[in-house]
């Protein structure tokens, strides 16, 4: 299981829909969140793109030197920049970060925003642009390894003698992630990307989507991996977690919800329509499947659901999605710094993944927790103790075998 965190480049807060508890998203703050994610052993962080976000490339670049092994899943909107420029930026970022780039290809689902950026096509045309963009982007980067040129003549994009001289570290190019729920999106994913992402819908809906994408990819002779994007509200008890969910929207007024829902209704994104349909703008029916709460989506565009519960409950829900074929979880919580710690402490030991002490550079053996009365080492929680014992046993075995 790969677990990613999220860099809140479009704001962070303790409560939704109000500036009370709102946080200044400075470089210093984003650095704290990135370093926390790196220190805690998250596999990577997602950086969104759009006019409400700080620029994803610039932000990610500013954090390369601050982190050691964290990967950067940088969102890129095809159509906003030339495919060759974008390919060169990806190669440079991958080289300068030591192979830590992942690219999230996002076509975008708000026509007003697209038009403000000079992209006037219909939903279908925007996906045609994404398709041509990716064909050029992939070929240009693939050919960096052989020094060949790319020629492409499309309906929207064409290049002649296109070339990037510096190859990315990852071959043939950094993995491509992609989100989109429309038929056009699924066609594109099946043909060109490596990991298909969905926002956190109930398990049955996700199972249906995965089956559809898999079948379409099979037709193209390809296999994709799957990822999912959730918020998380984890506490030591289920009651405390549900209280925290209520608190998150406790300062949110009906007028703000109505405004947000009207904005979402103007979008032509199938994914956004599916998110909004989960709650219909109503506060009274937010648990849309067990432990899946749609409260965030009352006002936040895109990822609008949270897994809510104590550590074992949330870990069990994640395993349900893993059983459907999801191997990557991209998570966030408000505020992003504190919640990155809370999730790692309460849930990481329960997940089938490499724990941070198993990762290179993280093998500090403890003790962990403040020493009691300057003398006694605090006892380990049960999950960690069991794991430490298992590690010790396998080490002893290795020593005796050698």
Question: Is 167 a residue that touches ligand FMN (CB under 6 A)?
Answer: no
Q: Looking at 91-99, 139-147, 197-205, 242-250, which segment touches ligand FMN (CB under 6 A)?
A: 197-205
Size of site (CB under 6 A) for ligand FMN: 22
Question: Is 182 a residue that touches ligand FMN (CB under 6 A)?
Answer: yes
CA–CA separation, 333 and 241 (whole Å):
12
Q: Which is nearer to ligand FMN, 212 or 356 (CB)?
A: 212
Q: Looking at 139-147, 264-272, 315-323, 374-382, which segment touches ligand FMN (CB under 6 A)?
A: 264-272
**Residues 257 and 298 sit within 8 Å (Cβ to Cβ):** yes
**Neighbour count for residue 240 (Cβ, 10 Å):** 14
Map residue 288 onto helix, strand or coil.
strand
Question: Which string of DSSP letters, residue by residue, matches 293-334?
Answer: E-GGGGT-SS---EEEEEHHHHHHHHHHHHHHTEEEEEEE-S
CA–CA separation, 224 and 163 (whole Å):
28
Question: Is 200 a residue that touches ligand FMN (CB under 6 A)?
Answer: no
Subset of residues 12 to 71 that bind ligand FMN, contact rule: CB under 6 A: 48-50
Task: Copy the structure tokens of residue 261.
Answer: 């829902």
User: At closest approach, how far in Å is the CB of 77 from ligand FMN?
Assistant: 6
Q: Which is nearer to ligand FMN, 44 or 311 (CB)?
A: 44
- Label the pairing between strands 287-289 and 292-293: antiparallel
Phi and psi for 334 in degrees, rounded to 5?
Answer: -100, 130
The secondary structure of 125-186, three-state, reads HHHHHHHHHHHHHHHHHHHHHCCCCEEEECCCCEEEEECCCCCCCCCCCCCEEEECCCHHHH
User: At closest approach, how far in Å is the CB of 266 from ligand FMN?
Assistant: 13
Kindly report the CA angle at 349 between 346 and 352, in degrees rounded to 5? 125
Question: Is 8 a residue that touches ligand FMN (CB under 6 A)?
Answer: no
Q: Quick one: CA dihedral 355, 359, 363, 368, positive or negative? A: negative
Q: Which is nearer to ligand FMN, 17 or 180 (CB)?
A: 180
User: At closest approach, how far in Å is the CB of 109 from ligand FMN?
Assistant: 3
Judged by CB under 6 A, the residue of 9, 59, 86, 198 near ligand FMN is: 198
Quick one: which of 233, 168, 238 has its CA closest to 200? 233
Q: Which is nearer to ligand FMN, 13 or 49 (CB)?
A: 49
Question: Is 164 a residue that touches ligand FMN (CB under 6 A)?
Answer: no
Question: Is 75 a residue that touches ligand FMN (CB under 6 A)?
Answer: yes
Subset of residues 295 to 354 that bind ligand FMN, contact rule: CB under 6 A: 302
Quick one: which of 342, 340, 375, 233 has its CA closest to 293? 233
Q: Looking at 28-36, 131-139, 176-184, 331-339, which segment touches ligand FMN (CB under 6 A)?
A: 176-184
Judged by CB under 6 A, the residue of 8, 17, 44, 180 near ligand FMN is: 180
Question: Is 229 a residue that touches ligand FMN (CB under 6 A)?
Answer: yes
Cα 90 to its chain centre, rounded Å, is 18
Q: Which is nearer to ligand FMN, 53 or 240 (CB)?
A: 53
User: At closest approach, how far in Å is the CB of 395 from ligand FMN?
Assistant: 39
Helix 336-347 × helix 311-324 angle, to 10°: 80
Q: Which is nearer to ligand FMN, 274 or 356 (CB)?
A: 274
Q: Looking at 23-31, 144-152, 194-202, 285-293, which segment touches ligand FMN (CB under 6 A)?
A: 194-202
Subset of residues 88 to 117 that bind ligand FMN, contact rule: CB under 6 A: 106-109
Q: Which is nearer to ligand FMN, 325 or 349 (CB)?
A: 325
Helices then strands, counting H and E runs in the chain, come out as 13, 13
Question: Is 86 a residue that touches ligand FMN (CB under 6 A)?
Answer: no
Q: Which is nearer to ligand FMN, 108 or 167 (CB)?
A: 108
By CB under 6 A, name the binding residues for ligand FMN.
48-50, 75, 77, 106-109, 179-182, 185, 197-199, 229, 269-271, 302
């Amino acid at each position: 299981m790969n677990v990613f965190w999220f860099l809140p480049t479009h704001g962070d807060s303790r409560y939704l829909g109000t500036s009370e508890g709102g946080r200044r998203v400075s470089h210093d703050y984003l650095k704290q969140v990135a370093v926390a994610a790196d220190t805690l052993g998250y596999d990577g962080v997602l950086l969104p793109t759009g006019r409400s976000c700080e620029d994803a490339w610039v932000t990610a670049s500013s954090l390369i030197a601050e982190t050691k092994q964290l990967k950067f899943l940088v969102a890129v909107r095809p159509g906003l920049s030339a495919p060759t420029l974008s390919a060169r930026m990806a190669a440079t970022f991958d080289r300068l970060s030591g192979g830590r780039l992942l690219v999230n290809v996002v076509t975008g689902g708000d026509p007003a925003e697209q038009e403000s950026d000079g992209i006037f096509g219909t939903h279908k045309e925007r996906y045609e642009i994404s398709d041509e963009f990716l064909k050029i982007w992939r070929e240009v980067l693939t050919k960096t390894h052989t020094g060949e040129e790319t020629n492409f003549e499309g309906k929207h994009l064409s290049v002649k003698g296109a070339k990037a001289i510096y190859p990315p570290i990852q071959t043939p190019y950094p993995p491509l992630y992609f989100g989109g729920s429309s038929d056009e999106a699924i066609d594109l994913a099946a043909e060109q990307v490596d990991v298909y992402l969905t926002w956190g819908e109930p398990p049955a809906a996700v199972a249906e989507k995965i089956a559809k994408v898999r079948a379409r990819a099979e037709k193209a002779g390809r296999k994709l991996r799957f990822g999912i994007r959730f918020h998380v509200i984890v506490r030591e008890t289920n009651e405390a977690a549900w209280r925290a969910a209520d608190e998150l929207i406790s300062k949110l007024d009906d007028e703000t919800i109505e405004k947000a829902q009207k904005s979402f209704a103007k979008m032509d994104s199938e994914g956004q329509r599916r998110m909004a349909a989960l709650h219909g703008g109503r506060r009274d029916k937010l648990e849309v499947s067990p432990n899946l709460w749609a409260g965030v989506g009352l006002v936040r565009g895109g990822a609008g659901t949270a897994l809510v519960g104590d550590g074992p409950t949330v870990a069990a829900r994640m395993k349900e999605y893993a059983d459907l074929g999801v191997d990557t979880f991209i998570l966030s919580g408000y505020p992003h710094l504190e919640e990155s710690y809370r999730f790692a402490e309460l849930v990481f030991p329960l997940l089938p993944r490499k724990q941070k002490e198993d990762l290179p550079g993280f093998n500090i053996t403890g003790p962990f927790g403040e020493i009691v009365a300057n003398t006694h080492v605090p006892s380990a929680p049960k999950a960690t103790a069991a794991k430490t014992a298992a590690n010790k046993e396998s080490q002893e075995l290795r020593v005796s075998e050698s």
